[in-house]
Amino acid sequence: MENTTTFIKKDTTANPGPLGLAGFGLTTILLNLHNAGLFGMDTMILAMGIFMGGLVQVYVGKMEWQKGNLFGTMAFTSYGTFWLTLVFLMMLPKLGLGEAPSATAMGYYLSVWGVLSLGFFAATLKLGKYIAVLFATVVLLFALLAIANFTGSHFVHTMAGVEGVICGSLALYMSIAELLEVVYGRKVLPIK
């Protein structure tokens, strides 16, 4: 007869979601303030895309995986890599490492991200109204950006910028609401 010992590890780690939402929200707001025409594309957006939008979200995706949260793993890791690829699409041609994508190619790039986001949105219908509204705005943002690239419409691009600021603000709101709930030990802002 064999002796076996079972260990149960209690997860005492913090919820990484608010950090990922902050990374997504801040970077989305800044890029879309640019898209709305408030300032030009500069290294501030690129740096935010690499670090807060990219690396932080990929790291949060890894933490979500460790917690057994498949949705969080997929969403944060996917959007983290979205930001990293977007920055590289802008930087590589400037470094002489390939041609810049055409507007049509960017339209398709944004479209496939919209399709993935639509899948995430379908999953959020079981997760709560705030997260569902957030992902609905993500889908709409990718759709508007794709349309702007396919058509060359400055008006649609500006509309996408305004909608993107709303999208990023929702993510940032959810991040802060979850943070405040943990810090104060009660709901301070509604998030469910």
Q: For 77-86, write each residue's pLDDT tens digit.
A: 999 999 999 9
The chain-wide mean pLDDT, for the chain, equals 95
Q: Helices 17-35 and 70-94 meet at what angle, rounded to 10?
A: 40
Q: CA geometry: angle at 105 spanning 103 and 107, to 5°? A: 70
Query: How far out from the chain centre does Cα 67 lie?
Result: 19
150-175 pLDDT tens trace: 999 999 999 999 999 999 999 999 99
How many Cα atoms within 13 Å fall on the side-chain side of residue 4?
A: 3
- For the full predicted model, state whether its pTM sits above 0.95: no
Band (pLDDT 50/70/90 cuts) for residue 1 is: low
Contact 106, 82 (CB under 8 A): no
7-57 pLDDT tens trace: 777 778 889 999 999 999 999 999 999 999 999 999 999 999 999 999 999
Q: For residue 26, what are the contacts with CB-CB under 8 A and spacing of at least 6?
A: 48, 52, 53, 168, 172
Query: Where do the domains of the chain lie?
Result: 17-184
Contact 131, 124 (CB under 8 A): yes
d(CA 67, CA 88): 30
Residue with tokens 């949060």: 60
Could you tell me if residue 128 is left (phi over 0), alpha (psi between -120 and 50 degrees) or otherwise beta?
left
Contact 60, 19 (CB under 8 A): yes
> Burial code of 115-124, b = ≥16 C-beta within 10 A, e = fewer?
ebbeebbeeb
107-154 pLDDT tens trace: 999 999 999 999 999 999 999 999 999 999 999 999 999 999 999 999
Contact 189, 173 (CB under 8 A): yes
Q: What are the structure tokens assigned to 145, written together? A: 């950006």
